[in-house]
Structure 1
Amino acid sequence: MSTTALILFAHGARAASWAAPFQRLQKLTQESSPLVRVELAFLEFMSPTLPELVEQLLADGINVATLVPVFFGQGGHVMRDLPLMIDELRLKHPQLQIKQVDAVGEDALVLQAIRDYCLRSLP
């Protein structure tokens, strides 16, 4: 069993269907990296929240995690809210090693993939 987790962190929405692409991303990522536990957590409106997921991961013996904000940019949630949440989790769970990376939309390859998708829409 892995002791490392990759947390895909999304905003969340009231409509359950909103989570479908994130769930597909989680499944694709897990299939590509079977030795790492890949989980999905939400900021609000959906479960699990990040604190709920961290509790479960720790209960399962996982104490090292990388958190990937599945956000298009580094907005207020990623720049302010998320670091506060992570600080609170670190205080509550000092055994937890958690690293946050930039929002996915900040990555050049992600932007190129989105560009390619947009260009494929042309007649």
Structure 2
Amino acid sequence: MSDAHAVVLFGHGARDPEWARSMQRTRDHLRTQAPALRVELAFLEFMTPTLDEAIAALARDGIPHITVVPMFIAQGGHLKSDVPRLVASARALHAGCEITLAPAVGEADGVIAAMANYALGCSGAASAAD
């Protein structure tokens, strides 16, 4: 098996396909930054592929290291119960793969700082702080 790595950007999903646009942009940006890294999207509901389908496709392609990155602002109910169950199931089905579950993207210090800076810029208070 190769030493290849993959990232699955995992979102909730929505009935409106436009909802996934920011995830698609994130995927495309990540692919540009790290061309050797396989980057895929997956969704909990309403959209495809599911997390099971995305991980199965990566495993079929011989990717031994998969990191699931929840594209959620915080560790809510889905991330505390549903997603760990899905990841545990994928680990059982694909024993040859190391599948890691990252914390919610919105809990990363850099993301929190970026959201705060964005909100500050939207408020008009940024120019008052200068």
- Runs of 4+ deviating beyond 6 Å: none
1:3 deviates by 1.9
> Percent of counterpart pairs with the same letter?
41
Deviations 1:16-39 (A, max 9, x none): 010011100000011111111111
Q: Specify the SS of the correspondent of 1:30.
A: helix
- What residue is the counterpart of 1:59 in the other structure? 60
CA distance in 1, matches of 2:117, 2:59: 39
Q: Following superposition of structure 1 onto structure 2, how do residues 43-122 of structure 1 map, counting pairs within 5 Å?
A: 43-122=44-123
Alpha-carbon distance in structure 1 between the residues aligned to 2:100 and 2:106: 18
Q: Is the contact made by 1:7 and 1:66 (CA closer than 8 Å) also made in structure 2?
A: yes
Residue 30 in structure 1 maps to residue 31 in structure 2: yes
Contact 1:2 1:35 (C-alpha < 8 Å) held by counterparts: no
Asked whether 1:5 is paired with 2:42, we answer no
Q: Following TM superposition, by how much is the alpha carbon of 1:9 offset from its aligned partner in structure 2, in angstroms?
A: 0.6
Query: Partner letter of residue 25 of structure 2?
Result: R
Distance 2:86 2:32 in 1: 28
- Using structure 1 for the length normalisation, give the TM-score: 0.95
3-state secondary structure, aligned to 2:41 = strand
Contact 2:3/2:65, CA 8 A, preserved across alignment: no
Contact 1:2 1:36 (8 Å CA) reproduced:
no
Cα 1:52–1:28 change in 2 (3 A) is same
Over aligned residues, Cα RMSD in angstroms?
Answer: 1.3
TM norm structure 2: 0.90
State the number of aligned residues: 123
What stretches of structure 2 of length at least 5 have no aligned partner?
125-130
Cα deviation, 1:52-80, whole Å, max 9, x if unaligned, reads 11111112111211111110000011111
Counterpart residue number, 1:41: 42
Separation (CA, whole Å) in 2 of partners of 1:2 and 1:38 = 15
Quote the Cα distance in structure 1 between the aligned partners of 2:76 and 2:101: 14
**Contact 1:2/1:37 (<8 A) preserved:** no
